[in-house]
Structure 1
Amino acid sequence: MKFIYGLCAVAISFGLSACASAPANQGDSPAQSAAVAVPGQDPAATAFEIKTIDADHQVRIVAKPTLAALDFAAYSANPIRLAGKDEKPENYTGKMAGAKIADYPFPMLDSVSESVPAIAQAVAPVAWEPLSKILYAQTGNDSLSQVLNAVEAVKWDEPDVFRAFQTVSRLWGVPMSDGSVEWWAEVTPASWTGRSVFYGKLKFASHGETAEVLNYYLTAEMNADDAMNWARTLSSYWYPTLNTDLEQHTPGDFWPVGSKNQPFAVMRGNPMGKAMWIAFEVPAFRLTEEQIRAKAVADSLAAAGEVVPVNRVLDTDSSFRLQTLASLEGSCPVNAETEKFKTALAQTLAKLPKEQNAWATSGASSAETFLWFRRNANYLLADKITGQDSLHNPLPRLLELKNYLDSIGVQLLVVPVPVKEEIYAERLVAGTPADLCVNPAGREFTREMLAAGLDVLDIYPSLMAAKAGDEPPRFSYQRYDTHWALPGMLAAMELLASRVTQYAWYADAGAKPGSLNMQETTTLREGDLVAHLPDAEKSKYPADTLPVMKILKGAEPYKGGKNAPILLMGDSFTGVFESVDQKSGGPGSLLAFATGLDVQVLTSWGGGPGVYHRMMKMKKDMQSKRLVIYMMTARDFWQSPMEWDALK
């Protein structure tokens, strides 16, 4: 029981409980279609079925909602993850195209063969990336990940090709009588290599608790809520470079409308400028037509009766805005130092392979090594933000949103979140002064928003000041991730709470200070930048245990309701620590704790520019709102892959 509780805790840290059995099957068995499985195995237990709706829409049906089955369905031959990878890299020469697998060294593999190993007939395949994270979290050993990364990192004597020549597409763990686990891998070469799939036994065996972890991973079934947490967490981790988000969909309802598919989650991805969808379906989570009708009626009644409209009066005092505007005048000039920084950063990016979206810089110790995001760096090299075309210039859309909210008596507060690269510029480019403002274009856009009449909370100075409290390996932003860590988030929330309490209507909003409790805890988070490093480097950066806060209402985790006077909407910065990881400890919960006002959170994992369209569908909920806080990463102000289009 001690082990099971331990694995449950690990799964919870990834947004799951993984400790509940699935409910009884409420629907028909899935229709037969293309099955991804090894011949001789039971697809219901070891793989998933694919229903292709059209070129851009798939449904993946998993018979049993184990974490292993869902992970395998998500990672295996996923077109969102594979988009663009079938094209031959520009610098690929193919000079070893004629070399045989047996003649080229894969020293980490034994018994290399082009035939499916016999053991695959009896053991369920898994996706190695998510399994290795859980093994590391439970056992503290990352050796399996290191070995498999090494397989994927073999470059066939072409080290300048960034893209992987091969991937470990399936992994089989075989428990042995001595308690160890042997591993067999299926290795799939990239299509442009012209090579065939091959198999091999790893020259490595796992010991300790690995067999028990693997068994639980393969057999413990999740309930519907756990499965949704799994989908939400997966979407959040893939968001930075695959632009993934979950579509608004009733779990277990039909999708698309009129089809026979009933997924519990629908993921949208747009990694290459073209959207595609993968839906995940579990027969046990399907709703009957009677349940669908009953839910529709219940939702309609809840929408009609739950929200209590409030009498609103806008705070038209412009003193805070004008003070902020004045503070920005001349605060981030273009000078020799900023030009030196931009030149050095541009040179760094030019040296990276075009497909490499993350890279590392070392500090005084391993605890001070940081990973950086290419899109964030590009934002620091931006030209005039309001000079972009109409689909990428945020200012007209933000003003349009303000005019709409003004018309219904709701305040708008815009909170751009600076990227890690501008807060820690001295760690990004050696020799940069720690107090240098390196983003004149971004700071100028903040000034332009304020000058245009938008109420903007400028959290940049607070985040720069928060660095003084850094205690490696703890910083204001996560070392291996694009998001802030607790110190940075608390600095921003302190300023935000202060601003909220200054609005003229705050005294009449029914605040109840002290009604919530705060609890210190920790969460395990894999950095979202690790997956975008060269394959040989990924195993250097394991999941990190981060200190976090959890907000409780009584004994239950806090969650704002529809009658909340504040709507906090935006991208993953509103959701991290709020709806994924340990939950109820993100910006919404912290703001509710600090102000005594209920806060409803609306997160678009696919990017901040899309969330206001979701808000427009919440017309009834908006009757209770006094304030909309629009919080999002500032990088999406520049060449956002999600376009800034008109309100709908």
Structure 2
Amino acid sequence: MNTRYAFPLLFSAVGIAAALTFISCASSGSVPPAVEAARSEFGPIGADVTPESVFEIKVVDADRQVRVVNKPTLAALDFAAYSSNPIRLAGKDESPENYKGSMEGANIADYPFPMFDTILAYMPQAVAGVTPIAWEPFSKILYAQTGTDSLASVLNSVEAVKWGEPEVFRAFQSVTRLWGVKKENAVEWWVEVLPASWTKRQVFYGKLKLVSGGETAEVLNYYLTAEMNSEDAMNWARTLSSYWYPTLNTDLEPHVPGDVWLDKNNRPFAVMRGNPMGKPMWVAFEVPAFRMTDEDIYAQRKADSLLAAGEVVPVDRTLDTNSASRLATLESMENSCPANAETAKFQKALKAKLDKLPKEQNAWSDNGMLWFRRNANYLVAEKISAQDSLHNPLPRMIELKQHLDSLNIQLLVVPVPVKEEIYADKMIAGTPEDLCVSVSGREFMREMLAAGIDVLDLYPALKAARSGDEPPHYSYQRYDTHWALPGMLAAMELLAARVTQYSWYAESGARPGSLVMKDTVVLREGDLVAHLPDAEKSKYPADTLAGMKIYKGDKAYKGDKNAPILLMGDSFTGVFESVDQKSGGPGSLLAYAVGLDVQVATSWGGGPGVRSRMMKMTKDMQSKRLVIYMMTARDFWQSPMEWDKL
């Protein structure tokens, strides 16, 4: 395999970009002789740096910090994101209630790590001057490029060691730094292992028995040395936020890359907000080369102001007040998912399965798929509209409709059924394939329709789509919360048909056939893998998925501010649209089908949060005829992002 030419695929595997331009493929400066002797024709494996110099932390306050990366390589950005990140560490310092501490006094010689041939209590001389990396993102890249997951398997096994207490779900230790040390035509691996604070053990270091071949050295070298531009870095941040969302409730704050954040000393290109434990915190990422000067900021804001004032062309709008489609949907949903003996049996079995899971385990495997605890909780929900005021979506949906009605903008709500609803029979053995199991969820949709809100019911189309499954390819991704291409196409066909039914569509200037669709392939790591027990994670490598990519002429499609349709929502609007292969998600597919531009607004932190973003798009809204609010149905029940008033 010629890694040098295949390397752009590496980034698409983790959703960074379809391709990158790689520069600066070698480091300069003096190097310790011991490190220099370990190098070969592939160039330097590590730069002449100390581990702490990969990035610098600027603490703003208890909940906000900026991580400054001097050289914007993927390795440096990944390390800055994964290393001691407070969003990732939140809630992990408390001792698990079933922890016994049976091996707290163990000597280092007795540590139960057979994957190491050396264990040290101090940093080894072998890694002096070698750049540390974060193992999780690198191992995924290595798998994408070489097809081997041996490194991930070994490091997962390190984190999975339970010290004789297998009933404790939480990891006893984590691999915080990985070093690849070149020896002739191979790479030896050293790691730093940080025990959880509640184990009362000290950090230690180990040399893996695993030794990797020369192809790995080339992948590692590019990972460490190839620099990104500001657009590439934003793609990296967007993708990272999307993958971390199910675990850490992450999202990117609206921010002009390189502009001031909080004070003039901070000029990050991206600001990540996380809320894993009910308390928001922020980690911003800054690269000096991407900073904007005060003069640049002033010029940019002036240009943005002029552009915003002149770019959006207001349209005369009239609401389509015909209720035929809404009433027909309402009628079709009457008694479509009744509570009966079969649904009661399903819910009992699902609750029993959830009760058996460790409290901290948010995903499990069964029947060839991974299942998400929050999705399952939605299927056993009580009356959704009876939740407290911060979690009840119904008043907020009515409020949103009233606001858009006042602007003569149509609202169409599109709840996306969870995978566990479509494949309930695969999740709980003995469940009839045609059994409707989301009793409360579908009743809530009926309540929205009865309240005058236009709702598109995707459930029948997605159930029908699964009849065309060709295992191991399904309408939803096996290891992920999101749909795959067949499910997305079934949903978009129904959505496009609904859009063309509005009375104003005939006068909208639609041009079906003006865009081009091309087949593509994407390698996507499932977002549920991170929720599994550490010992199981390596069993679920990235999936190769079919995709579509939409082009306008020879450029990948992207709707602009003048688009008459705004598609807003959670990650279901962004997956395949702004991450992975891009321009192949719901927005682009809808634009292709109906011949109208579609602007997309995605809140990776959850559907409830996107409404506030829409409220700030005052000028953009002057061109809109329709707002499509698409989000996973699970956020209707006990959403971690509260349903605040507009």
Normalising by the smaller structure, the TM-score range is: over 0.9
Amino acid at match of 1:15: I
Instruction: Note the residue ranges of structure 1 that are not aligned, 5 or more in a row.
Output: 23-39, 363-368
8 Å contact from structure 2 (residues 174, 194) kept in 1 = yes
Match of 2:170 in 1: 163
Write out aligned runs for 1:505-584 (5 A). 505-584=504-583
Write out aligned runs for 1:175-190 (5 A). 175-177=182-184, 179-190=185-196
8 Å contact from structure 1 (residues 332, 437) kept in 2 = yes
Match of 1:25 in 2: none
8 Å contact from structure 2 (residues 9, 145) kept in 1 = no
Match of 2:321 in 1: 316
The Cα offsets for residues 471-495 of structure 1, whole Å up to 9 and x where unpaired, read as: 0011000000000000000000000
Instruction: Note the residue ranges of structure 2 that are not aligned, 5 or more in a row.
Output: 25-46
8 Å contact from structure 1 (residues 513, 595) kept in 2 = yes
Whole-Å Cα distance in 2 between the matches of residues 472 and 9 of structure 1?
Answer: 25
Is 1:154 the counterpart of 2:161? The answer is yes
Match of 2:226 in 1: 220
Match of 2:7 in 1: 7
The Cα offsets for residues 568-608 of structure 1, whole Å up to 9 and x where unpaired, read as: 00000000000000000000000000000000000000000
Is 1:86 the counterpart of 2:93? The answer is yes
Is 1:332 the counterpart of 2:337? The answer is yes
Whole-Å Cα distance in 2 between the matches of residues 73 and 498 of structure 1?
Answer: 45
Whole-Å Cα distance in 1 between the matches of residues 482 and 90 of structure 2?
Answer: 25
Write out aligned runs for 1:359-508 (5 A). 359-362=364-367, 369-508=368-507
The Cα offsets for residues 545-574 of structure 1, whole Å up to 9 and x where unpaired, read as: 100000001111000010000000000000
Amino acid at match of 1:339: A
Specify whether residues 240 and 623 from structure 1 end up closer, same or farther in structure 2 by C-alpha distance, changes over 3 A only. same
The Cα offsets for residues 485-539 of structure 1, whole Å up to 9 and x where unpaired, read as: 0000000000000000000000111101111000001011100000110000000
Match of 1:608 in 2: 607
Match of 1:639 in 2: 638
Whole-Å Cα distance in 2 between the matches of residues 571 and 317 of structure 1?
Answer: 28
Amino acid at match of 1:12: S
Whole-Å Cα distance in 1 between the matches of residues 560 and 257 of structure 2?
Answer: 20
Moved more, 94-103 or 494-503: 94-103
Whole-Å Cα distance in 2 between the matches of residues 120 and 305 of structure 1?
Answer: 56
Deviation at 1:241, TM superposition (A): 2.0
8 Å contact from structure 2 (residues 51, 132) kept in 1 = no
Match of 2:197 in 1: 191
Amino acid at match of 2:400: L
Deviation at 1:174, TM superposition (A): 1.1
Query: What SS does the corresponding residue of 1:311 show, helix, strand or coil?
Result: coil
Specify whether residues 466 and 169 from structure 1 end up closer, same or farther in structure 2 by C-alpha distance, changes over 3 A only. same
Amino acid at match of 2:90: A
- 139, 158, 172: which is aligned to 1:132? 139
Whole-Å Cα distance in 1 between the matches of residues 23 and 270 of structure 2?
Answer: 19
TM-score scaled by structure 2?
A: 0.95
Match of 1:19 in 2: 21
Match of 1:29 in 2: none
Specify whether residues 493 and 344 from structure 1 end up closer, same or farther in structure 2 by C-alpha distance, changes over 3 A only. same
Amino acid at match of 1:320: S
TM-score scaled by structure 1?
A: 0.95
Is 1:58 the counterpart of 2:65? The answer is yes
Whole-Å Cα distance in 2 between the matches of residues 379 and 43 of structure 1?
Answer: 48
Whole-Å Cα distance in 2 between the matches of residues 306 and 546 of structure 1?
Answer: 37
The Cα offsets for residues 278-308 of structure 1, whole Å up to 9 and x where unpaired, read as: 0000011001111111110111011100000
Query: What SS does the corresponding residue of 1:588 show, helix, strand or coil?
Result: helix
Specify whether residues 46 and 147 from structure 1 end up closer, same or farther in structure 2 by C-alpha distance, changes over 3 A only. farther
Deviation at 1:454, TM superposition (A): 0.2
8 Å contact from structure 2 (residues 12, 523) kept in 1 = no
Whole-Å Cα distance in 1 between the matches of residues 93 and 5 of structure 2?
Answer: 42
Write out aligned runs for 1:229-268 (5 A). 229-256=235-262, 258-268=263-273
8 Å contact from structure 2 (residues 22, 227) kept in 1 = yes
Deviation at 1:21, TM superposition (A): 4.1
Moved more, 324-333 or 258-267: 258-267
Query: What SS does the corresponding residue of 1:502 show, helix, strand or coil?
Result: coil
Match of 1:295 in 2: 300
Whole-Å Cα distance in 1 between the matches of residues 502 and 4 of structure 2?
Answer: 49
Is 1:123 the counterpart of 2:124? The answer is no
Whole-Å Cα distance in 2 between the matches of residues 314 and 354 of structure 1?
Answer: 48
Whole-Å Cα distance in 1 between the matches of residues 296 and 462 of structure 2?
Answer: 48
The Cα offsets for residues 297-352 of structure 1, whole Å up to 9 and x where unpaired, read as: 11101110000011111000000000000000111010111011000100111011
The Cα offsets for residues 174-224 of structure 1, whole Å up to 9 and x where unpaired, read as: 1221x2111001100000000000001000011141000000000000000
Amino acid at match of 2:360: E
Whole-Å Cα distance in 2 between the matches of residues 296 and 105 of structure 1?
Answer: 58
The Cα offsets for residues 352-388 of structure 1, whole Å up to 9 and x where unpaired, read as: 10000110002xxxxxx10011110111110000000
Moved over 3 A (4+): 43-46
Amino acid at match of 1:621: D
Amino acid at match of 2:269: F
8 Å contact from structure 1 (residues 18, 67) kept in 2 = no
Whole-Å Cα distance in 2 between the matches of residues 236 and 150 of structure 1?
Answer: 26
Whole-Å Cα distance in 1 between the matches of residues 431 and 506 of structure 2?
Answer: 45
Whole-Å Cα distance in 2 between the matches of residues 394 and 41 of structure 1?
Answer: 54
Match of 2:108 in 1: 101
Deviation at 1:43, TM superposition (A): 4.8
Match of 1:366 in 2: none
Whole-Å Cα distance in 1 between the matches of residues 9 and 433 of structure 2?
Answer: 38
Whole-Å Cα distance in 1 between the matches of residues 472 and 191 of structure 2?
Answer: 35
Match of 1:355 in 2: 360
Whole-Å Cα distance in 1 between the matches of residues 253 and 196 of structure 2?
Answer: 30
Percent identity, aligned pairs only?
73
Deviation at 1:42, TM superposition (A): 2.4
Amino acid at match of 2:630: M
Deviation at 1:95, TM superposition (A): 1.1
The Cα offsets for residues 207-245 of structure 1, whole Å up to 9 and x where unpaired, read as: 141000000000000000000000000000000121000
8 Å contact from structure 2 (residues 259, 292) kept in 1 = yes
8 Å contact from structure 1 (residues 45, 64) kept in 2 = no
Whole-Å Cα distance in 1 between the matches of residues 399 and 524 of structure 2?
Answer: 37
8 Å contact from structure 2 (residues 258, 292) kept in 1 = yes
The Cα offsets for residues 382-410 of structure 1, whole Å up to 9 and x where unpaired, read as: 00000001110001001101001000110
8 Å contact from structure 2 (residues 50, 129) kept in 1 = no
- 288, 298, 305: which is aligned to 2:310? 305
Amino acid at match of 1:327: S
Query: What SS does the corresponding residue of 2:616 show, helix, strand or coil?
Result: coil
Whole-Å Cα distance in 2 between the matches of residues 372 and 208 of structure 1?
Answer: 37
Deviation at 1:9, TM superposition (A): 2.0
Match of 1:145 in 2: 152
Whole-Å Cα distance in 2 between the matches of residues 204 and 2 of structure 1?
Answer: 23
8 Å contact from structure 1 (residues 44, 63) kept in 2 = no
The Cα offsets for residues 59-81 of structure 1, whole Å up to 9 and x where unpaired, read as: 00111000000000000011101
8 Å contact from structure 1 (residues 46, 125) kept in 2 = no
